[in-house]
Structure 1
Amino acid sequence: MERTRIAKVDDVRLVRRGEQVEGTLHLTPHHLIFSHTPPTTEEAHTRPRELWITYPIIHTCALRPAPPASHLPSSIRIRCRDFTFVCFCFEDEKKARDVYDSIKAWTCKLGRIEKLYAFSYQPQRPEKEVNGWNLYDARREWRRLGVGEKSTEKGWRISNINTDYAVGQQYSEKPDPILTIVQFSSTYPALLPVPTSISDNTLNYAGRYRSRVRLPVLTYLHPVNNCSITRCAQPLVGVRGNRSIQDEKLLLAIFSTSHSDSNTSEPPSRPRSPQSLRSSEGDVGSQGSDPPLTDAETLEDEMISQTASDDRDEPKVYGAQQHNLIVDARPTVNALAMQAVGLGSENMDNYRFATKIYLGIDNIHVMRESLNKVIDTLKESDVTPLAPNREALAKSHWLKHIGGLLDGAGIIARQVALQHSHVLIHCSDGWDRTSQLSALGQLCLDPYYRTLEGFIVLVEKDWLSFGHQFNHRSGFLSSEKWFHIENERVGGDGNKQPSLGGQNSGAGQALENALLSAKGFFNKDNKSRDSIVDSDGELQPYDMSSTSKRSAATGKGNASDKNTTKVKETSPVFHQFLDATYQLLYRHPTRFEFNERFLRRLLYHLYSCQYGTFLYNNEKERVDAHVSEKTRSVWDYFLSRKEQFTNEKYDATINDNVRGQERLILPGPGEVRWWHELFGRTNAEMNGPTRITRYRARGNSPVDGTVLTGVETADIAVGAGAPGTELPNGDAHGFSALAAGLGGLGMSKSRGNEPSSLKREMEVEMQ
């Protein structure tokens, strides 16, 4: 109770959507509870109603003291991460301040994850009878995909190199002999599926070439054609163009696993030039005779029927001309700028067996800013019932970002299922955009992941196991920057981000930032260079003036840093994945076993901190914290209430959830809509009279509405900032060349990147 200045306040008025009710406000160690009794009739007695708000779900809290001689009440306005907006009005200003101080203390002054509600929560029956921690078993899921420790006929094995997240012991003789455990990849899962032709020794060397030792490993294997989705982090190319023979050998082995002889490493067919990549509505690398999107199921049925008549025990070889992809999710210029600090993207001269594409998906800072703009249009939801300004919603570019993810997922799904090719996905560190694209691609490919159990397995595998930084991105311990008292600020707003506009916000300024960061990078020792790059693998501005201050500091930093919220590392990455899943569910209502409410409640419990599932950044942290022993799994909540989250329209017979007969779904080209239920609004308020928004986010685009910002092979590179760009048609230049080079890809015509936006994107990447 030492954090609670006041535990109960009577005669508090709650304002929500313009409606007011009077009741009592209670403050407990984990919840803010408002109770009120609705008006009753003489014939019936109404029980008190309660509004529970868990402290971690509070995003912003503002105290507005009563102006002198105004006779107005003091108020506290709260915006929650589940888009609940409430305002509490108090007649006594002192009580209002005491409530504000108590909320602030319980929200952002805990200091440790272990003080969150999850560590004291005690479930009731029937939830108590479920154990969601046992639902995902990595070995069982790999067996389902056809990968086992003893079953290598598909060309894959499970490596134990990361078991216990260490690779062995190492002696250090200077200054004194010390025995230490050498970590392999602390952010990767313990079990790593890799090609059978690749030894653990090769993995050890290949891992050194990828950021944070997140080397290419399997995340999905197609049951019919044995083609794979693999994932990793960006390579350590740098300004010198570093290469790794082991990394090249690993990728070649991955792209050769669908061949009949899995132990050979014969290179797949040479990739085609970007101009020759011709497709229909998002089909990268398909032949001109391929059917349109609407006939994808017909084509897949024919493939399945042909497979059914053959001997299933023999490995099949599909696609005499494979066109394997390396998908870099970042904008082209952002990926190239990372070379200044020793990172970057693959030099395709060393990967002649693949084509690389850039998807132009923005980083965590842009996504956070986009959601904040959406919130700005809804922030008066506590005091007014008026509908949000749809023009302001459009300017947030939120739908453009969701659409870009769906377009990228569509490329990946079609490339694997219809083009019988392999896809490697990475962004910067491979735990944000990579997780989004990988999971969405698998949702399209595998109907098992469209069941309730399968979706849980997908989240466990591609988000939790592969190390999405839920703690950093969600900011569970909050920040004092999200609390303020109106009319009491002194000076400027320290939390306000500087404008990215103006003459100094172009690519030149961004490159200057990159060079300054690079200068700082090379002046720092190896142990401290990670501070130049944020947890998204993006550059941070290098402060020359503070060099001496950092040099004078002792130690390796504050040990409590991991228990504090870094506001600039928060971002709605998992939220975007759920939003994109909602888009697929809306387009294919009979193909998902779970309903929209399941997605909405999952986002709520991401922030509620009632369960331990999402509290840590990776598998190793959860093991070290013994989270499965000390907390309950979030899946307990859903599995014990399965009937509430089951989709009544689900048709399991359409999905053909039989191994080898899976049915493909694809996102509609350009079809995105506001998830109005999540924002607590009606469909008419958010989406207007139209059923589906065909969205163009940024006006006229030189490459009209494509998610791609560049394509690169060993022979040609087309796109903004592409190195050694060979332009098609000789006389083409700039964005005209990009349009010419990518026009044949036949991507969605709904979303694009205008040239002026590239300056802003690159500047944000430097943060």
Structure 2
Amino acid sequence: MERTRIAKVDDVRLVRRGEQVEGNLHLTPHHLIFSHTPPTAEEANARPRELWITYPIIHTCTLRPAPPASHLPSSIRLRCRDLTFVCFCFADEKKARDVYDSIKAWTCKLGRIEKLYAFSYQPQRPEKEVNGWNVYDARREWRRLGVSEKSTDKGWRISNINTDYAFSSTYPALLAVPTSISDNTLNYAGRYRSRVRLPVLTYLHPVNNCSITRCAQPLVGVRGNRSIQDEKLLLAIFSTSHSDPNSSEPPSRPRSPQSLRSSEGDIGSQGSDPPPTDAETLEDEMINRTASEDKDEPKVYGAQQHNLIVDARPTVNALAMQAVGLGSENMDNYRFATKIYLGIDNIHVMRDSLNKVVDTLKESDVTPLAPNREALAKSHWLKHIGGLLDGAGIIARQVALQHSHVLIHCSDGWDRTSQLSALGQLCLDPYYRTLEGFIVLVEKDWLSFGHQFNHRSGFLSSEKWFHIENERVGGDSNKQPSLVGHNSGAGQALENALLSAKGFFNKDNKSKDSIVDSDGEMQPYDMSPTSKRSAAPGKGSGSDKSTTKVKETSPVFHQFLDATYQLLHRHPTRFEFNERFLRRLLYHLYSCQYGTFLYNNEKERVDARVSEKTRSVWDYFLSRKEQFINEIYDATIDDNVRGQERLVLPGTGELRWWHELFGRTDAEMNGPTRTTRNRAQGDILVDPTVLTGVETADNSVGAGAPGRVLPNEDASSLSVLAAGLGGLGISKSRGNEPSSLKREMESDGEEPTSPTPAEDPETVDVAADAPAAGGSSQMTTLEALKGALKLALIHDGLARGLREASKALDRRQAHMCVLNEGCEEEAYKKLVVALCGEHGIPLIKVPDGKMLGEWAGLCVLDREGNARKVVNCSCVVVRDWGEESQERSILINYFATEQ
């Protein structure tokens, strides 16, 4: 009681959805309890109704004090993480302040996870008789998937290299890896992946033996680091579906662009989901082939495999991470696969998106009015959900219909990777669509693989989420200024990467203890298993006195549940559990009543002995199973017989708001009933395509494609590659690639009508004697460029150097970019080219950095005006032309002519 300033307040008015009710407010160490007796109760001893609010579920608390002279009540407004909005009104301003201080103390000042409600909660029957900690057993689930310690005929084995969590502190104790890979190889391969999170199995298809594996980003860096052991591990993974699991024969190489146009590539080639019946027909054919009359006939899957490496991040984010020693796979070293970028934004973008939804609904406590659907659409929440479902659909099609393997990663492999992996398996395996199976899926792909529930959920809260309204100055302190363009989704990654780039390039710099990844996490530079710093993710563990780091919070698991809701709504008879199950699971994620979600990884839970000291959240659901069963579930559609699994597809064109979660009607959140996503103006998700880049050892398409001048035949090849993405079961990317690539892809490889060679119209190589196109014959383009840079310099309109130039490009504060072709930092060059392509900014390449440095003013002028001590310059961006000039006109005309 030491934190409670006041334990009970009478005559408090609760306001919710515009309705008011009088009652009493009680404050306990773990709950805020409002009780009232319904006025319609006829019996004098009618039992009062109660509203219980657990402190960790409170996200924002605002006190609005009112002086006595105003004759207005003081109020406390709560916004809860389960999207409940309530307001308490007090006649006494002092009591309101005491309640506010008590709530703040019980919410923000615990300091340790062990002080949360879960460690004192004692259930009643029948919940007390259930043990949810036993629902998931890793070995049992691997056996269900066909992997065991005794049988390795599937090409997989269970490794014990991490049984004590010394190899990777954020991975599960048991790791399924190819039988041909030794633990010694794993030891070396792990050093090449962030957090030592190397590629391991998470799902094995029962029919074609194709796999879903997951990992973290590789440590490529600007020097193009590679790992033979990592390449060997991936080759072994992609070879496991062959008839001989121990064969060293590599899987088939990615098909040529021409072969992608084959008839098998029709699925999804126009960016739309095939009807469910089409998918079921295709899988029926696959199943029938396995049950052919000739039982002895060998079944060869993967003869036309197109194995995928799925990088969930936007292309530019992945490129930016190379500056701090991370990045994405160099496909020259993985010629047996194709890599795709999905363009799913990071945790900061997702947090901001949900905050925009909340801003739209923040008056839900005091008004019954329906929310502004246009404002909801501008939050882009459903666009992000659609991106996840689109990515999951790609993964499911590749495994089930294309008989191929898929490796998934993002940055550290515990946020977007968990979302995509779990959703893909939900589409593939009907077991995971049962109540028990969904629990197993959450335990496996979220809890055991180390999703940071503590960091992302912010259980210990933050004082930044508590405000006294008339004491705030300058607006909401929680809203952080955006460092770079907020629309691109690459801003945080770019800023974080460039902040650490200078120290990275200095070989003698000893400040490498920590670097920043694209999700804003501080992580050690030394990723080796023997490094003590490899256990860094344990920061903020329950044993440390800590509070929530606001920038690490994000609704990652919330998004997964929302995406699951979309699948349930689209396929209502294919899920054993109902919508209420998902809603209550989100509630108990934040209630902290159970120990399941309190820690960041399996090691932390074992160290805290959480299964001994707390109850499992699954106790709650399994003891009330009848409340969470879908009444229209048809188990006969998916009879759950191995070898007869049925596929469901996301159908991102029918996304809708999860209105039950918001306590609203379907009409309030989604408007009139519609048959397509484009029926009403303002409907969400005009373009659900999540794919932003495709890369093989020979070709690349998308915003991250190298900015080079292409001959006709290469442009034609890229056109065919883009047109044939349907062979992967992938929609063509629209809207993120440079405009030059758009035109090349639209050309269908035809010869241009103009005799001018096919060039990238926004990437121009300038020679010293290049005449000004359409300009004065007295001034060359080079002279115009020199003069324009000089004028911009005079007016402080230049951004010089790769870092400042990249920031200006991402902010779209650039009229033109000039890049030194001789710059040795390839990662930065790729980043600049990608940003120019993404934002349609003209790019000029010059051959000499000293010359560019002189033009940009990076020199000292002697008395005669000659440049001395010229500094080599890698990149310059013109942010402000300065004034109207002949040089500017010549350059603008030159760009227009070249385009």
Q: Distance in 1 between matches of 2:493 and 2:326?
A: 16
Matches within 5 A, 1:150-549: 150-166=150-166, 184-273=167-256, 277=260, 294-309=277-292, 316-490=299-473, 493-499=476-482, 514-521=497-504, 529=512, 531-533=514-516, 536=519
Segment of structure 1 superposing worse, 448-457 or 523-532 = 523-532
Rate the CA distance shift 1:126–1:294 in 2: closer, same or farther, 3 A: same
Q: Deviations over 1:47-91 (max 9, x none)?
A: 200000000000000000115632110000000001110000001
Q: Distance in 1 between matches of 2:311 and 2:537?
A: 38
Q: Distance in 2 between matches of 1:553 and 1:706?
A: 36
Q: Distance in 2 between matches of 1:49 and 1:131?
A: 30
Contact 2:515 2:522 in 1 (8 A): yes
Contact 1:698 1:754 in 2 (8 A): no
Q: Distance in 1 between matches of 2:725 and 2:684?
A: 13
Deviation at 1:292?
Answer: 6.2
Contact 1:400 1:695 in 2 (8 A): no
Rate the CA distance shift 1:524–1:463 in 2: closer, same or farther, 3 A: farther
Contact 2:261 2:723 in 1 (8 A): no
Rate the CA distance shift 1:665–1:743 in 2: closer, same or farther, 3 A: closer
Contact 1:7 1:27 in 2 (8 A): yes
Deviation at 1:495?
Answer: 2.6
Q: CA RMSD of the aligned region, Å?
A: 5.2
Q: Deviations over 1:223-268 (max 9, x none)?
A: 0000000000000000000000000000000000000110012111
Q: Deviations over 1:9-31 (max 9, x none)?
A: 00100000000001000000000
Segment of structure 1 superposing worse, 507-516 or 356-365 = 507-516
Please tell me whether residue 642 in structure 1 is matched to residue 625 in structure 2: yes
Q: Deviations over 1:475-514 (max 9, x none)?
A: 0000000001011124565432114567999989975763
SS of aligned partner of 1:381: coil
Rate the CA distance shift 1:133–1:695 in 2: closer, same or farther, 3 A: farther
Q: Deviations over 1:269-309 (max 9, x none)?
A: 11025675459999779999998653111121222123124
Segment of structure 1 superposing worse, 726-735 or 680-689 = 726-735
Contact 2:268 2:731 in 1 (8 A): no
Contact 1:705 1:747 in 2 (8 A): no
Deviation at 1:532?
Answer: 2.5
Q: Distance in 2 between matches of 1:552 and 1:314?
A: 50
Q: Deviations over 1:114-161 (max 9, x none)?
A: 000000000000000000001100000000000011101110000000
Return 5+ residue gaps in structure 2 as ranges: 746-898
Rate the CA distance shift 1:489–1:224 in 2: closer, same or farther, 3 A: same
Rate the CA distance shift 1:516–1:713 in 2: closer, same or farther, 3 A: same
Q: Distance in 1 between matches of 2:586 and 2:153?
A: 40
Rate the CA distance shift 1:665–1:5 in 2: closer, same or farther, 3 A: same
Rate the CA distance shift 1:571–1:107 in 2: closer, same or farther, 3 A: same
Contact 2:260 2:724 in 1 (8 A): no
Q: Distance in 1 between matches of 2:528 and 2:408?
A: 38
Rate the CA distance shift 1:552–1:8 in 2: closer, same or farther, 3 A: closer
Contact 1:203 1:246 in 2 (8 A): yes
Q: Distance in 2 between matches of 1:584 and 1:519?
A: 46
Q: Deviations over 1:145-189 (max 9, x none)?
A: 0001110111000000001112xxxxxxxxxxxxxxxxx100000
SS of aligned partner of 1:401: helix
Rate the CA distance shift 1:600–1:260 in 2: closer, same or farther, 3 A: same
Segment of structure 1 superposing worse, 36-45 or 292-301 = 36-45
Q: Deviations over 1:696-721 (max 9, x none)?
A: 99999999652110000000011102
Q: Which has the larger radius of gyration?
A: 2
Q: Deviations over 1:446-477 (max 9, x none)?
A: 00000000000000000000000000000000
> Residue 59 of structure 2 aligns with which residue?
59
Aligned equivalent of 1:698, options 674, 677, 681:
681
Segment of structure 1 superposing worse, 373-382 or 38-47 = 38-47
Q: Distance in 1 between matches of 2:529 and 2:422?
A: 41
Contact 2:193 2:527 in 1 (8 A): no
Deviation at 1:45?
Answer: 5.4
Q: Distance in 1 between matches of 2:519 and 2:489?
A: 22
> Residue 181 of structure 1 aligns with which residue?
none
Matches within 5 A, 1:13-24: 13-24=13-24
Contact 1:24 1:34 in 2 (8 A): yes
Q: Deviations over 1:361-394 (max 9, x none)?
A: 0000000000000001100000000000000000
Contact 2:317 2:518 in 1 (8 A): no
TM-score (ref. length: structure 1): 0.88
Larger RCO (CA within 8 A; separation ≥ 6): 1
Q: Distance in 1 between matches of 2:740 and 2:102?
A: 43
TM-score (ref. length: structure 2): 0.75
Q: Distance in 2 between matches of 1:376 and 1:567?
A: 18
Q: Distance in 2 between matches of 1:465 and 1:643?
A: 27
SS of aligned partner of 1:425: strand
SS of aligned partner of 1:60: strand
- Paired residues, what number? 746
Q: Distance in 2 between matches of 1:545 and 1:760?
A: 45
Deviation at 1:660?
Answer: 1.0
Rate the CA distance shift 1:450–1:102 in 2: closer, same or farther, 3 A: same
SS of aligned partner of 2:164: helix
Rate the CA distance shift 1:554–1:293 in 2: closer, same or farther, 3 A: closer
Rate the CA distance shift 1:509–1:71 in 2: closer, same or farther, 3 A: closer
Contact 1:165 1:190 in 2 (8 A): yes
Percent sequence identity is: 92
